[in-house]
Amino acid sequence: MKPYPKPTKCGSMPKTKKLRKAGAPGRLYISFWNICLDNLPEGNLTHHCMTLDDAKQCIEKAQQEKKLLCLSADDLLAPYHKRELKNHDALCKVLKKHFGIVLSLRDFVSKDAAVGFYTINPLNCFQISGCDRLLVITCAYTTRKRSKKDAFNFKIAPETVQFHRIEANDKA
């Protein structure tokens, strides 16, 4: 069995009869900062640092095809995770303002229709396989002095935002 061909660019696979039958690339999972071993199948994996343009195109295409699922290691809806929610919100704002990438808390949440409540898509419950991809968005922070008491204000440095795509090299 031959492995899947490598993508020529995000979201477009070389055209072969097998891949056309299999359909378009799978789901795009997005995580801010974190990765979990449960996300990775056994076997070979590929890690690519993506350019802003490739990442933006990949995210927009997944949104249009309704194949985007944002995951979180933290329960962002829990009252004891206000700091994590604030960090996620800050990264979403930086992505939109500086890069034109529109993501929000809504992308990290699913509604259980049977029960009628909302829940965060847990990072440890999803695994990439086949044509699925995991996009981990990372960043660094800068500090600014806020007052005479030496308190610091941490803020995301937009120039440090990076996009890491991880794919499984499954056998066809």
| CATH number, domain 27-168, options 3.40.50.11170, 3.40.50.11710, 3.90.470.10, 1.20.120.400 | 3.40.50.11170
Which residue reads 């991809």 in tokens?
133
Domain chopping of the chain, boundaries: 27-168
Reply yes or no on whether the pLDDT at 19 is more than 60.
Answer: no
What is the predicted pLDDT for the residue at 6? 38
pLDDT digits (tens, 9 = 90+) for 154-172: 889 999 999 999 988 764 4
DSSP per-residue codes, 59-124: HHHHHHTT-EEEEBSS-TTSGGGHHHHHHHHHHHHHHHHHH-----GGGGEEEETTTTEEEE-BGG
Three-state DSSP at 55 gives helix
pLDDT digits (tens, 9 = 90+) for 61-92: 999 999 999 999 999 888 898 989 999 999 99
